[in-house]
Chain A
Amino acid sequence: MTEVKRIDLGHINLRGDAGDDRFADGVEAALGLTLPVDPNTLSESDHRMYWLGPDEWQVVADRKNVPVLLKKLEDALVDQHVSINDLSGGQVTLHLAGADVPELLAKACTLDLHPSVFGVGDCAQSGLAKANVLIGYIDVAPVYEIIVRRSFSEYLLRWLRQNSHFQVGTASS
């Protein structure tokens, strides 16, 4: 059975020009991780950084570190055409653990989440049970991270808990 937990993390939305070395270097200096430029991937160090689009990323970090990271990003990317926004108040992070997670998500998501296709370090924005979500495969354990708008979070949490309850047996992995 899938274990569903709500995790208290902060979120920063970052937009900029991936083709500009100053931007990539600035992000690396500020966050200590490489800018994920490959579509549908994430990079990780002390924080996680998700690819959202060709010029858009999301940083997921410990909530208490967010003000420091914002300041570091602003300092590192000064005079560049970028946007840095704190979305911590508007989004909720859920962690799903267990071998059955892909099977549970497949009930209401059109993505192919089989581990042979969607591996560790992969991410995707999609719909899950009518909510818009960002899904990341963050740990081989397996642990999946789901980021959802705060207003959808209670509904999605209930949906996940209810449907994980009905799961029987183990998934193929």
Chain B
Amino acid sequence: MLLISCPYCGARAETEFSYGGEAGIERPKDPHALSDAEWADYLFMRKNPRGLHTELWIHAQGCRRWFKVERDTVSYKITSSRELSLGASEKE
């Protein structure tokens, strides 16, 4: 079981959390300006990397806050965990 560090509550067991997919996906400012392919890319296409992955988690059984985690998809090692607001403006 993973030990995930919630930025608010501290380290807790994985069972207290739910996964929210890749982080840092920004909704296009003007969706009407996008082609179908660009819109589909925003909606469906994800990186799915082998290695370090930035992802969203929610502390569902705890404080019920979303936050951002950096996890290695091979070793499952979590290298960082922080509040969403601090990383919101970051583009990848």
Query: Which residues from chain A sit less than 8 Å from chain B, CB to CB?
Result: 39-40, 52-54, 56, 110-111, 124-127, 132
- Report the minimum CB–CB distance from A144 to chain B (whole Å): 17
Q: Chain A contact residues: over half helix, strand or loop, or mixed?
A: strand
> Contact string, B6-43, partner A, CB cutoff 8 A, digits 1/0?
00111011011000000000000000000000000000
- Report the minimum CB–CB distance from A117 to chain B (whole Å): 11
What chain B residues lie within 8 Å of A110 (beta carbons)?
12-13, 15-16
Q: Do residues B62 and A126 form an inter-chain contact, with CB atoms below 8 A? A: yes
Query: Which residues from chain B sit less than 8 Å from chain A, CB to CB?
Result: 8-10, 12-13, 15-16, 61-65
Q: Chain B contact residues: over half helix, strand or loop, or mixed?
A: loop
Q: Do residues A132 and B61 form an inter-chain contact, with CB atoms below 8 A? A: yes
With A110-B15, A110-B16, A126-B16 known as contacts, the answer to whether A40 contacts B10 (CB < 8 A) is: yes
Q: Do residues A54 and B8 form an inter-chain contact, with CB atoms below 8 A? A: yes
